[in-house]
Structure 1
Amino acid sequence: MLRSLEIRDMLIIDRLDLAFQPGLNVLTGETGAGKSILLDSLGFVLGWRGRADLVRTGAGQAEVTAEFDLPAGHAARAVLKEAGVPEGETLILRRINTRDGRKTSWVNDRRVSGEILRALSDTLIELHGQQDDRGLLNPRGHRQLLDDYAALSGDIAQTRAAWRARAAAQADMERAEAALCALKAEEEFLRHAVEELDSLSPVPGEDAVLDARRRAMQVADRVREDIVRAHAALSEGGGAEARMGDALRWLEGTADIVEGTLDPAIEALGRAMVELGEAVQGVEACLGVLEFDPADLEATEERLFALRALARKHGVQPDDLGGLAEDLRRRLCALDGGEADLAALRMTLDTAHAAYEAAARRLTQKRHAAARALDAAMTGELAPLKMERAVFTTLVTSADPGPEGGDTVTFQVATNPGAPAGPLNKIASGGELSRFLLALKVCLTQQTSGQTLIFDEIDRGVGGATADAVGRRLAALAGGGQVLVVTHSPQVAALAAHHWRVEKKVRAETTLSSVTPLTGADRIDEIARMISGDTITPQARAAAQALLEG
């Protein structure tokens, strides 16, 4: 329930504090007095999109604060929890609009986005007028309204999930068919390439090994002769090793005679003999490496050239041939197993399609049942509104399948027996349309709890007993909650539990709008004004008194 509304510097309102009550609340006043500004202000703090020039002339910013009761279990609490906003027994919304158009919003003193405000507004307020643009007169929104009336959100979620599953299965199927078609187009290449690569069996790193081995064998003949000579000079016959050995023996034979003078030389020769031995071993090892069969060189070159030729053919590096072979083998396996994969995907698609059809069929059946229930409820609501002879029909017809099933819903009416039925916004006159919309709103909001209902001139175009009937229905609707009505009908105003007058005054050459709560004689005068106009006669006061007394 809306508890209070504070407005600062909004359009032609400088300062306004309103405290609303449960039950039927009415706002009355001359046309242009500012009643719509109150709704604009409320819509602004709720994050609704509207006019941009909201700041009162001469002010730096406009500000609106709204306070709502927030009982346990209210739907707004889920929005607050998801947004990380602290909860309490009341909900305080505040929004500021600066002169340059910047908007800032708070919920319970926590900075929030306009999106969060709008999510909260869906749980707090229902605004409705004769020219309602939120679904009642728009056939495109009739299905959503019927679904809300029947509480089909769970069934719709299942149908959407089935639709997504079917779409995903269809996409998988189409991708698999396209991939298989592409593989079939290159089947001859794949089989030949795989056979060629498998025959060669390339190994990563093989190119570098073969190239080094080939170069070593190519230079072996040129360097082998010098290395053989070096080996002979070091170790064969009278080579360095033999001569150093002789020298070492000779020196060791005379070392005692010279009493240690030759010890350093002997030690140096010993070390040199060790180093010389290692050198001989290294030379011999090199000679072993340089030993090769000419056929090995030929085989190495053939392998190396084959690897590089195949790499050039496929546009890859030689070391990548193994990976290419694996990729081509995978594609070939996919080709060979493609038909079996397609068969499995067809089965998955058929299953998903059947699941969607079943979900959509259940949804259609529930919509037909809800349509009958809504038509019966509308019949019961139209009678108290002096339209007992009118007929309201909810048509559920087939449409192209979609995420929410395959149904189109249209509200049709016939205002008199025997008259042709047609769309709600084309058949009914202004007064009839008001009553149809009020009855429909009553039926559609029976499933909603904890919301404040706002009717903006829903009684336009009706008067007399019909206006009284509309007022009584609004009062009955407000019995279980809170209803705000902007009205020009004295019959409706007289049935309100709380009455405010909106008026426009000029002060110091500035036009300002004010709102005054009415009781007693003031309320009689306001209803009398609504009956007779600017000049309030005794007869108008008497009529107003009679309306208030019921």
Structure 2
Amino acid sequence: MLIELSVRDLGVIADLQLVIGPGMTVLTGETGAGKTLVVDAIELLVGGRADPVLVRPGADEARVDGRFVVPEPADGSADEDGGPRPGDEIVLSRVVPRSGRSRAYVDGRPATVAELARWGRRLVDLHGQHAHQSLLGAAVQRATLDRFGGVDLGPLHAARARVAELDAALAALGGDERARARETDLHRFQVEELDAAAITGPDEDDELAAEEDVLADAVAHREAGAAAVEALTGDGGAGDPLGVAVAALADRSPYRELEQRLRAVVAEVTDVAAEVRGVAEAIDPDPDRLAQIRERRQLLRDLRRKYGETLEDVIAYHREAAERLAELESHDARAAELDAERRTALAELAAVEAEVGTLRRTAAPDLARAIEERLADLEMARARVVVAVGDDDPGDDVELRLAANPGSDPQALAKVASGGELARAMLAIRLVLTSGPPTLVFDEVDAGIGGEAAVAVGRALADLAPGHQVLVVTHLPQVAACADHQVSVAKREVDGTTVSEARLLTSDERVLELSRMLSGNTGSEAAREHAAELLASAERSRR
């Protein structure tokens, strides 16, 4: 709902602050006073075209701000971008400079006009000679028919989602036969190469490096071992002086502990010599084995260059490539399975689409008759409405058409020439559906009517007020009398410049304004009595 509207330097409006309540509010005033500029201001807030000609003479730019209460989304969803939630307040702003591009803001944050329009579709519907009219959209007209006919689209959405899911699964298998064949050949070559390599584990290269180090210098290793054994156990080696030392200290009590330590050293030297001899004798110079190790290590290096930084990465790639190869080789079987599921899903979708199409075609003439009945109350008794539904199931091509006069062919609502006729058609549709954005704005809805028809239009607009905030620009006292609130828009001259002002009227001021609308002046006693009677009659009809 629109709570507050601020307009500055727009047309003849210098500075307007308007607090708007719930229910039905009418804007009245002399022709040219600026009533329609208020509608233009709201249209700018919801993404309408910004024309620099609207900027008030002498001003650099026009600015419009609107404070709204965010409604529940029509589809029950919620915004996921952290923005305002249902029940929160949101401020939409639009700045129109005399030259350059217009600027848009949401809660003071720069925004695109498209973002304003997105909020506009949720907040406001303008009916009259304005581009922003949600009921002119094909999707909204289709939803209108579905809502009227109680068409459940859940099964249709589920059936379409299932077909889309199967299409995605088939696409993931690889729909291009040549590309699939190339990928299969590549993975088969890679898997065979890695199978043949038979990597024993992530540490295989480290183990081979150690063995290569031994074999690469085998003779020198053996000679070093023999020299060490000779130095430890040969004549004149380390063992002889150690034995002499042990014998010298034997059975001498002061050296008993040191003797034991020397004997341990002799035993350790003997053990080390034996181990060195064993290692040296085990080293077998084997040029063939050395060549094999070097060839194997080169292979492992080549595999790491192609498949991963480490052997662990290569092993992981081997596993993934084998799994993908299995998928590709089983493609035909899986594709046949998915094709069968898709055929079943398409058959189910066709059945659901046929059912939805039947429901839409059945509901279409009923909706047309309901709208025609409402139009009859709005001085369009001879209007003809057609709700056209496409021949192809599920009948997604829905179009509301109107023939305002006998003998004319029904045309799409967007092509209806008369703004008043279009506005009344929109009003009739709203009366049938009683849904839509929380704020409905009607401009020129009373064009070309009067008398009882004007009273009917006023009452029809008032019927919308319990479920919507209704703003109406009108010249007719019969319509104005049906409102809960009345705003007078008047222009006056300030320092040689014409400016418009708007203010909410009291009950007594409403009588004077209605008398002016009835007789052209506020001094007529008869006009004031008639105005009071109109207000009283409207009040009685609301009870």
Q: TM-score, normalised by structure 2?
A: 0.74
Give the counterpart of 1:218 among 216, 219, 225. Answer: 216
Which residue in the other structure is 2:266 paired with?
A: 273
Q: For the structure 1 residues 463 and 541, does the alpha-carbon distance in structure 2 shift closer, same or farther, using more than 3 Å as the test?
A: farther
The within-5 A match list for 1:496-511 is 498-511=485-498
Which residue in the other structure is 2:156 paired with?
A: 159
Greater mean deviation of Cα atoms: 139-148 or 504-513: 139-148
Give the residue type in structure 1 aligned to 2:453.
A
Residues 190-226 of structure 1: CA deviation (Å, up to 9, x unaligned): 5565455434422233233223313312312234234
C-alpha separation between the residues in 2 aligned to 1:285 and 1:505? 119
Q: For the structure 1 residues 77 and 143, does the alpha-carbon distance in structure 2 shift closer, same or farther, using more than 3 Å as the test?
A: closer
Which residue in the other structure is 2:199 paired with?
A: 202
- Tell me if structure 2 keeps the 8 A contact 1:149–1:447: no
C-alpha separation between the residues in 2 aligned to 1:105 and 1:146? 35
Q: For the structure 1 residues 380 and 330, does the alpha-carbon distance in structure 2 shift closer, same or farther, using more than 3 Å as the test?
A: same
Give the counterpart of 2:107 among 105, 108, 111. Answer: 105
Give the residue type in structure 2 aligned to 1:483.
V
Instruction: Give the 3-state SS of the residue equivalent to 2:397 in structure 1.
Output: strand
Instruction: Give the 3-state SS of the residue equivalent to 1:202 in structure 2.
Output: coil
Q: For the structure 1 residues 343 and 547, does the alpha-carbon distance in structure 2 shift closer, same or farther, using more than 3 Å as the test?
A: same
C-alpha separation between the residues in 2 aligned to 1:408 and 1:382? 24
Which residue in the other structure is 2:457 paired with?
A: 473
C-alpha separation between the residues in 2 aligned to 1:58 and 1:415? 42
Which residue in the other structure is 1:169 paired with?
A: 166
Task: Flag structure 2 segments of 5+ consecutive residues without an equivalent.
Answer: 98-102, 535-543
Cα deviation for residue 355 of structure 1 reads 4.2
- Tell me if structure 2 keeps the 8 A contact 1:471–1:493: no
Cα deviation for residue 421 of structure 1 reads 3.6
Cα deviation for residue 29 of structure 1 reads 2.1
Instruction: Give the 3-state SS of the residue equivalent to 2:142 in structure 1.
Output: helix
Give the residue type in structure 2 aligned to 1:37.
L
Identity of aligned residues (%): 28
- Tell me if structure 2 keeps the 8 A contact 1:413–1:421: yes
Which residue in the other structure is 1:533 paired with?
A: none
Cα deviation for residue 182 of structure 1 reads 3.9
Q: For the structure 1 residues 478 and 243, does the alpha-carbon distance in structure 2 shift closer, same or farther, using more than 3 Å as the test?
A: same
Q: For the structure 1 residues 48 and 524, does the alpha-carbon distance in structure 2 shift closer, same or farther, using more than 3 Å as the test?
A: same
Residues 5-36 of structure 1: CA deviation (Å, up to 9, x unaligned): 4647564243545565745x432223432213
- Tell me if structure 2 keeps the 8 A contact 1:173–1:349: no
Instruction: Give the 3-state SS of the residue equivalent to 2:446 in structure 1.
Output: coil
C-alpha separation between the residues in 1 aligned to 2:516 and 2:69? 31
Which residue in the other structure is 2:232 paired with?
A: 234
Which residue in the other structure is 1:453 paired with?
A: 440
Cα deviation for residue 412 of structure 1 reads 2.3
Which residue in the other structure is 1:34 paired with?
A: 34
Q: For the structure 1 residues 273 and 394, does the alpha-carbon distance in structure 2 shift closer, same or farther, using more than 3 Å as the test?
A: same
Q: For the structure 1 residues 177 and 520, does the alpha-carbon distance in structure 2 shift closer, same or farther, using more than 3 Å as the test?
A: closer
Question: Residue 378 in 1 paired to residue 379 in 2?
Answer: no
C-alpha separation between the residues in 2 aligned to 1:102 and 1:269? 97
Q: For the structure 1 residues 329 and 98, does the alpha-carbon distance in structure 2 shift closer, same or farther, using more than 3 Å as the test?
A: closer
Q: For the structure 1 residues 211 and 508, does the alpha-carbon distance in structure 2 shift closer, same or farther, using more than 3 Å as the test?
A: same
C-alpha separation between the residues in 2 aligned to 1:193 and 1:7? 71
- Tell me if structure 1 keeps the 8 A contact 2:445–2:474: yes
Give the residue type in structure 1 aligned to 2:412.
P
The within-5 A match list for 1:64-103 is 103=105
Cα deviation for residue 325 of structure 1 reads 4.0
C-alpha separation between the residues in 2 aligned to 1:80 and 1:224? 80
Which residue in the other structure is 1:333 paired with?
A: 326
C-alpha separation between the residues in 1 aligned to 2:66 and 2:105? 13
Which residue in the other structure is 2:280 paired with?
A: 287
C-alpha separation between the residues in 2 aligned to 1:186 and 1:480? 64
- Tell me if structure 2 keeps the 8 A contact 1:371–1:394: yes
- Tell me if structure 2 keeps the 8 A contact 1:415–1:428: no
- Tell me if structure 2 keeps the 8 A contact 1:55–1:99: yes
Give the residue type in structure 1 aligned to 2:459.
A
C-alpha separation between the residues in 2 aligned to 1:281 and 1:42? 103
Q: TM-score, normalised by structure 1?
A: 0.74
Give the residue type in structure 1 aligned to 2:460.
A
Residues 418-440 of structure 1: CA deviation (Å, up to 9, x unaligned): 55444345466565445434323
Task: Flag structure 1 segments of 5+ consecutive residues without an equivalent.
Answer: 530-535
Cα deviation for residue 392 of structure 1 reads 0.9
Which residue in the other structure is 1:347 paired with?
A: 340
C-alpha separation between the residues in 1 aligned to 2:204 and 2:80? 63
- Tell me if structure 2 keeps the 8 A contact 1:180–1:338: no
Instruction: Give the 3-state SS of the residue equivalent to 2:380 in structure 1.
Output: coil
Which residue in the other structure is 1:365 paired with?
A: 358
Q: For the structure 1 residues 149 and 288, does the alpha-carbon distance in structure 2 shift closer, same or farther, using more than 3 Å as the test?
A: farther
C-alpha separation between the residues in 2 aligned to 1:416 and 1:323? 77
Which residue in the other structure is 2:145 paired with?
A: 146
Q: For the structure 1 residues 437 and 164, does the alpha-carbon distance in structure 2 shift closer, same or farther, using more than 3 Å as the test?
A: same
Q: For the structure 1 residues 266 and 142, does the alpha-carbon distance in structure 2 shift closer, same or farther, using more than 3 Å as the test?
A: closer
C-alpha separation between the residues in 2 aligned to 1:343 and 1:81? 39
Cα deviation for residue 526 of structure 1 reads 3.2
Instruction: Give the 3-state SS of the residue equivalent to 1:475 in structure 2.
Output: helix
